[in-house]
Structure 1
Amino acid sequence: MGNETLELEPDRLSITTLQLEAQVPPPAPDEIPNGGLTAWLQVLGSFILFFNTWGIVNTFGTFQTYYSLNLPQSDSDIAWIGSIAAFLLLLVGIGAGPLYDAGYFKQLLLFGSFFVVFGMMMTSIATQYWQFMLSQGICMGLGNGLLFVPSVAIVSQWFTTRKAFATGIAAAGSSLGGVIYPIIFHKLQPKIGFGWTTRVIAFIMFALLCISSSVMRVRSQPKAARALLDLSAFQDSAFLLFSGAMFFGFVGLYTPFFYIQVYALEKGVDPNFAFYLLSLLNVGSIFGRIIPNRLADHIGPLNVIIPGTIITAILAFGWIGIVSTPSLIIFALLYGFFSGSYVSVPPTVLMVISPDLKVVGTRMGMCFAIGGCGLLIGTPIAGLLITKYGFIAAITFSAAAVLAAFVLMVGTRVSRVGWVVKSIE
Structure 2
Amino acid sequence: MDHGQELDHSSTSSHTLAHDKEVHADDVSQESLHQPPLDGGAVEKQISKNPSVNNVNAIPNGGPTAWLQVAGSFFLFFNSWGIINTFGVYQTYYEGGILAGTSPSSISWIGSMQAFLLMLVGALTGPVYDAGYFRSLVFTGSFLVIFGQMMLSLCTQYWQVFIAQAICVGLGAGCLFVPSVAIISTYFSTRIATAMGIAAVGSSLGGVIYPIVFYRLQPSIGFGWATRVIGFMMLATIAVPNLVMKVRVLPAARRKILDLAAFREPAYFCFVLGGFLGFMGLYAPFFYVQTYAITNNITNPNLAFYLLSIINSASIFGRLIPNLVADKTGPFNMIVPCALISGILSLCLIPIKAVGPLIVFCILYGFFSGSFVSLPPTIFVHLSPNRGIIGTRMGMGFAIISIGLLIGTPICGQILAHAGFTYVWVFGGVMTVVGGSFIGAARVFQGGWALTKKV
User: Residues 276-291 of structure 1 correspond to what in structure 2 (within 5 A)?
Assistant: 276-291=306-321
Counterpart selection for 1:62 from 76, 89, 95: 89
Distance 1:94 1:227 in 2: 12
Counterpart selection for 1:355 from 382, 385, 388: 385
Deviation digits for residues 254-298 of structure 1, max 9, x if unmatched? 011111110110121111111000000001100000000001100
Distance 2:423 2:192 in 1: 40
Deviation digits for residues 79-107 of structure 1, max 9, x if unmatched? 00000010000000122111111110000
2:105, 2:412 within 8 Å by CA — same for their partners in 1?
yes
Query: How far does residue 353 in structure 1 lie from its aligned partner after superposition?
Result: 2.2
2:196, 2:378 within 8 Å by CA — same for their partners in 1?
no
Counterpart selection for 1:219 from 248, 251, 266: 248
SS of 2:252 mapped into structure 1:
coil
Counterpart selection for 2:77 from 50, 53, 57: 50
Counterpart AA for 1:417 = G
SS of 1:321 mapped into structure 2:
coil
1:26/1:112 Cα in 2 relative to 1: closer, same or farther (>3 Å)? closer
Deviation digits for residues 55-90 of structure 1, max 9, x if unmatched? 010000000001111212100000000000100000
User: Residues 42-191 of structure 1 correspond to what in structure 2 (within 5 A)?
Assistant: 42-70=69-97, 71=99, 72-191=101-220
Report what 2:290 is aligned to.
261
Report what 1:270 is aligned to.
300
Equivalenced residue count is: 402
Deviation digits for residues 11-36 of structure 1, max 9, x if unmatched? xxxxxxxxxxxxx9987253222222
Query: How far does residue 387 in structure 1 lie from its aligned partner after superposition?
Result: 1.1
Distance 1:164 1:414 in 2: 20
Distance 1:110 1:357 in 2: 26
Counterpart AA for 1:297 = D
Distance 2:93 2:32 in 1: 66
Matched, 1:237 2:266: yes
Distance 2:35 2:445 in 1: 39
2:341, 2:368 within 8 Å by CA — same for their partners in 1?
yes
Of Structure 1 and Structure 2, which has the larger fraction of its residues in helix? 1
2:251, 2:388 within 8 Å by CA — same for their partners in 1?
no
Report what 1:375 is aligned to.
405
Matched, 1:197 2:226: yes
Distance 1:204 1:338 in 2: 28
Query: How far does residue 355 in structure 1 lie from its aligned partner after superposition?
Result: 2.6
1:199/1:308 Cα in 2 relative to 1: closer, same or farther (>3 Å)? same
Report what 1:299 is aligned to.
329
SS of 1:275 mapped into structure 2:
helix
2:319, 2:370 within 8 Å by CA — same for their partners in 1?
yes
Matched, 1:247 2:247: no
Report what 1:320 is aligned to.
350
Query: How far does residue 417 in structure 1 lie from its aligned partner after superposition?
Result: 2.4
Distance 1:372 1:119 in 2: 21
Distance 2:256 2:69 in 1: 25
Counterpart AA for 1:401 = M
Report what 1:33 is aligned to.
60
Query: How far does residue 361 in structure 1 lie from its aligned partner after superposition?
Result: 1.0
Query: How far does residue 347 in structure 1 lie from its aligned partner after superposition?
Result: 1.1
Counterpart AA for 1:342 = F
Query: How far does residue 357 in structure 1 lie from its aligned partner after superposition?
Result: 2.5
Scaled by the length of structure 1, the TM-score of the pair is 0.93
Counterpart AA for 2:360 = I
Matched, 1:394 2:424: yes
2:92, 2:290 within 8 Å by CA — same for their partners in 1?
yes
Distance 1:32 1:185 in 2: 41
1:353/1:107 Cα in 2 relative to 1: closer, same or farther (>3 Å)? same
Query: How far does residue 354 in structure 1 lie from its aligned partner after superposition?
Result: 2.4
Distance 2:34 2:356 in 1: 62
Counterpart AA for 2:90 = F
Scaled by the length of structure 2, the TM-score of the pair is 0.87
Percent of residue pairs identical: 54
Distance 1:110 1:166 in 2: 23
Query: How far does residue 420 in structure 1 lie from its aligned partner after superposition?
Result: 2.1
1:26/1:259 Cα in 2 relative to 1: closer, same or farther (>3 Å)? closer
Report what 2:433 is aligned to.
403
Q: Which segments of 5 or more consecutive residues in structure 1 lack a partner in the other structure?
A: 1-23
Distance 1:76 1:313 in 2: 21
Distance 1:87 1:284 in 2: 24
Report what 1:342 is aligned to.
372
Distance 1:258 1:224 in 2: 41
Report what 2:442 is aligned to.
412
